[in-house]
Amino acid sequence: MTDVPSSPLSLVVLVSGNGSNLQALLSACANGRIPARVSAVVSSEANAYALVRAREAQVATEVLCHRSFIGSRKDYDAQLAEKVERYQPGLVLLAGFMRVLTPTFVRQYRGRMLNIHPALLPAFRGLHTHARALASGVKVHGATVHFVTEELDGGPIVTQARVPVLSGDTEASLAARVLVQEHIIYPQAVSWFATGCLRLAEDDSAWFDDRLIPPQGVSVE
């Protein structure tokens, strides 16, 4: 087990949309479930409601709008890193950030970046996970928290939550039940990291205390 940080961990959250997972993180920090603080929220969309949530919580906000950005993905991510670094993050969190990050950006925050994905990885990487789950006929769906690596949605799994697919489910109804679980497992994973329980090893394996995390992740009690 690594040392517990002596001061609250600085979190920078990257968003693009509504920000319900951001809200779960803000609430968990406020009530002490996560021994950390959200230092800044950075959005790829100027009108993302997540920015409203951040401002209401008196958290600094930054916008780097990808729709009007002139330049390459590399240029965008270089500017993104500049904004993130202003807040000296101990952990960068992707919470509905709808951009694929370049390898350079990912390497800069290796072992210090988590993502919440609305599927049971390694199944249904990428977009439209709920529609694809329904189309495939799976009986169980869910969400995954994982370390971010250069492989899209392919980093080591930290924890997962499973949700049954019910008869008559629509994309919206399934997504809503999965989202409830996302709001539970993401703050828990961040808390593990903030307290020194969770780490990424040099070989890209994920560890909880002194135990290798199994393929399905650590169970959230």
Structural domain containing residue 143: 9-209
Q: Show pLDDT as tens, one digit a residue, over the chain (221 residues).
A: 444 445 799 999 999 999 999 999 999 999 999 999 999 999 999 999 999 999 999 999 999 998 889 999 999 999 999 999 999 999 999 999 999 999 999 999 999 999 999 999 999 999 999 999 999 999 999 999 999 999 999 999 999 999 999 999 999 999 999 999 999 999 999 999 999 999 999 999 999 999 999 999 999 87
Strands 206-208 and 211-212, sheet pairing: antiparallel
Q: Please pick, among 117, 130, 141, 146, the residue that the annotation labels catalytic.
A: 117
Question: In total, how many domains does the chain have?
Answer: 1
Quick check: is 216 in a domain? no
Quick check: is 2 in a domain? no
Half-sphere exposure of 217 (CA within 13 A, CB side): 26
Quick check: is 52 in a domain? yes
Cα 82 → chain centroid: 20
CATH number reported for the structural domain that contains residue 135 in this entry: 3.40.50.170
Quick check: is 215 in a domain? no
- Clarify whether 141 is annotated catalytic: no
Beta bridge partner(s), residue 9: 36
Quick check: is 41 in a domain? yes
Quick check: is 3 in a domain? no
Quick check: is 194 in a domain? yes
Quick check: is 35 in a domain? yes
**Coil, helix or strand at residue 14:** strand
